[in-house]
Amino acid sequence: MAFESTEKLEMVYETIKNIEIAIERIQERTVQVHHVDDFLLSPWGMEKLDAAAMVIIAIGEAVKTLDKLTDKKLLPTYPSVEWKKVMGTIDIMAHHYFEIDADAVFSIIKNDMEPLKAAMDFFKRQLFTDK
């Protein structure tokens, strides 16, 4: 994939790195969350839920940025992630913050973070590894 400028390529790299950092952060901060009730049954859990939701929103916004920076050409190269679903879920969470579904947040953390991490690794190999 060709980029119009080195600056744009650097922005893509930084966006991928930010997504990776956010994934790591959410995984580290929810390591003690084993069931959705762990979010709901204590003030500690509710704080974790709120924080996790904000990080998920940040990841989604970064994915949208990545898609825009690459003129919608990068994400389709890794089709095993449902990118429209990723971006749509984030929109719902961002615009209906007080209606966040703890089950959805739990599911995203437990089921979607590793595939997103794998996608970011793939993108880095495709874009930044000398061929």
pLDDT on residue 131: 47
pLDDT on residue 129: 81
- Hey, what domains does the chain have and what are their CATH numbers? 6-128 (1.20.120)
pLDDT on residue 130: 65
User: Which two three-digit tokens encode residue 41?
Assistant: 């049954």
User: Which two three-digit tokens encode residue 77?
Assistant: 């190269």
Triad 114, 63, 81: Cα angle to 5°: 45
User: Which two three-digit tokens encode residue 57?
Assistant: 């929103």
Does the global pTM surpass 0.75?
A: yes
> What are the residue ranges in the chain where pLDDT is below 50?
131
pLDDT on residue 97: 63
